[in-house]
Amino acid sequence: MTRRHLLGLLSAIGLAPRLARAANPSAAARIEPLQLSDAQWKERLNSTQYQVLRHEGTERAFTSPLNGEKRRGRYLCAGCDLPLFSSDMKFDSGTGWPSFYTSLPGVFGFTADYRLFLPRTEYHCVRCGGHHGHVFDDGPAPTGKRYCNNGVALKFVAAEA
């Protein structure tokens, strides 16, 4: 059973929203979960987005146009349009993926990922459960965090002039 299937099962029995709220009770409590069937996700997402968001895949480094995005704006979840980051939070990590030193409050749930033997902290959208990436402790001030995000898991909305 994959983590995605486990989250779906927990959601179906009413536990997933409680687990997501544990990360930030005040903000996550206001975010209504989006639950779609696998067929609905396949209609909503392209094949790469589906693999990353629904099956915890990873896009190839340096392939996302959002990695070089410099305009002011917001980054939304490609699965459900939940605002996740502002452009003020973005920095160039040199890793090949869009990177942010923090996120908007309460938008992610966190889990331990041991797929590469060393533990990493994986993060998922609290609304749709979509996998976005991993957070590391090698980012810039003021947080020291690096949210290493798959670009295909994001939509960029430029700020209006």
Number of domains in the chain: 1
pLDDT computed for residue 53 by the predictor: 97
Report the catalytic residues.
148
pLDDT computed for residue 29 by the predictor: 56
Which letter does DSSP use for residue 151 in this model?
Answer: G
Range of the domain at 25: 3-158
Which residues of the chain carry a pLDDT beneath 70? Answer: 1-29
CATH number, position 150: 2.170.150.20
